[in-house]
């Protein structure tokens, strides 16, 4: 099996590294030269990785072609290419519908969309696939876990959830800065929060029978500090702001279908 990536950024880098780490059965990974720093670093990892200056050559060679370009560049990059009917296309472009992609690649290739996160590099990612595509589910399953959905509405909801990464790091930075303002070393504060949140994530993974609300209650002494922080967050509109952000992103995705 030969995989081709048009667009070589953070997610392409993570998928390629993860597949190499997992020793996934493939013959070659062909990545586009852009960005050169990422493509060169990947090529240095394994003889299975090659770099191509020609996107058409990638399409002509690969059994599975991944689109990993910016949404605003997608049409200009993809539309000029000619695709074989037996090619499987996987789009990692968040805001481009399968209908749009179909107008660019033609009626022959199978097309699915996927939402992998950078953690696939460590084989710990949960990737969403739409529509169900067994070969792609198997591939992302090797990088952690694959979740397949039946409808575009379900897929878009996961896309909204995946947009929380920036907020997570923003929240962590706010807390780190607050700890630093109390006289603590910034790096110590950062490491403390990273370890704390990692431990909480591990707890959630290890207790799949409990809802997040059950875990919150279990980690909050009645009248204690954890309960106080949650109550202040909710009472001052934190939960409402989060839901409003989700709905606005969902509206944006719906408008692009």
From first to last of its 257 residues, the chain has per-residue pLDDT tens of 999 999 999 999 999 999 999 999 999 999 999 888 999 999 999 999 999 999 999 999 999 999 999 999 999 999 999 999 999 999 999 889 999 999 999 999 999 999 999 999 999 999 999 999 999 999 999 999 999 999 999 999 999 999 999 999 999 999 999 999 999 999 999 999 999 999 999 999 999 999 999 999 999 999 999 999 999 999 999 999 999 999 999 999 998 87
| 3-class DSSP assignment, residue 89 | strand
Residue showing tokens 């090659």: 50
pLDDT value for 224: 98
User: Distance between CA atoms of 252 and 68, rounded to whole angstroms?
Assistant: 20
How many Å apart are CA 51 and CA 71, to the nearest integer?
22
What's the pTM value of the predicted model, to 2 decimals?
A: 0.90
Q: What is the CA radius of gyration of the chain?
A: 21
What are the CA-CA distances from residue 128 to residues 145, 154, 155 (Å)? 9, 10, 7
Would you give the end-to-end CA distance of the chain in angstroms? 32
- Residues whose CB falls within 8 Å of the CB of residue 174, separated by 6 or more in sequence, listed in order: none
Which tokens hold the place of 204? 């959630």
Residue 51 DSSP label: E
Cis amide linkage into residue 131, ω under 30° from 0: yes
User: Which long-range CB contacts under 8 A does 25-30 form with residues at least 24 apart?
Assistant: 25/1, 26/1, 26/2, 27/1, 27/2, 28/2, 28/3, 28/61, 29/2, 29/3, 29/4, 29/5, 30/2, 30/3, 30/4, 30/5, 30/57, 30/58, 30/61, 30/62
Q: What is the pLDDT of residue 40?
A: 95
**112 sits in which H/E element:** strand 110-115
Cα separations in angstroms, 170 against 164, 167, 178, 224? 10, 5, 12, 25
Q: What pLDDT sits at residue 35?
A: 82
Q: CA angle, corner 252, sides to 9 and 116, nearest 5?
A: 35
CATH-assigned architecture of domain 165-255? Orthogonal Bundle (1.10)
- Give the span between the Cα atoms of 83 and 86, in whole angstroms: 9
Question: What is 2-149's CATH number?
Answer: 3.40.50.720
Which residues have C-beta within 8 Å of that of residue 90, sequence separation ≥ 6? 64, 65, 66, 67, 111, 112, 113, 114, 133, 136
Tokens of residue 96, six digits? 């481009």
Show me where the domains of the chain are located: 2-149, 165-255
């Amino acid at each position: 099996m030969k995989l081709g990536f048009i667009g070589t950024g953070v997610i392409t880098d993570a998928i390629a590294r993860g597949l190499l780490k997992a020793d996934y059965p493939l013959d070659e990974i062909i990545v586009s030269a852009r960005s050169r720093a990422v493509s060169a670093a990947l090529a240095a990892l394994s003889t299975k990785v090659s770099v191509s200056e020609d996107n058409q050559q990638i399409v002509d060679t690969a059994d599975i072609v991944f689109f990993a370009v910016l949404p605003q560049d997608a049409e200009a990059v993809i539309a000029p290419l000619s695709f074989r009917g037996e090619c499987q296309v996987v789009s990692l472009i968040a805001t481009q519908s399968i209908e749009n992609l179909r107008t660019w690649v033609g009626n022959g290739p199978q097309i699915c969309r996927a939402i992998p996160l950078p953690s696939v590099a460590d084989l710990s990612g949960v990737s969403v696939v739409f529509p169900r595509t067994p070969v792609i589910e198997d591939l992302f399953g090797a990088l952690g876990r694959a979740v397949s959905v039946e409808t575009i509405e379900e897929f878009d909801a996961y896309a909204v959830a995946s947009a929380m990464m920036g907020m997570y790091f923003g929240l962590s930075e706010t807390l780190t800065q607050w700890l630093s303002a109390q006289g603590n070393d910034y790096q110590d504060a950062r490491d403390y929060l990273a370890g704390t949140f990692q431990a909480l994530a591990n707890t959630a993974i290890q207790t799949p029978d409990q809802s997040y609300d059950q875990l919150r209650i279990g980690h909050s002494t009645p009248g204690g500090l954890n309960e106080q922080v949650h109550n202040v967050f909710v009472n001052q509109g934190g939960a409402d702001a989060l839901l409003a952000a989700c709905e606005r992103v969902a509206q944006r995705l719906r408008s692009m279908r």
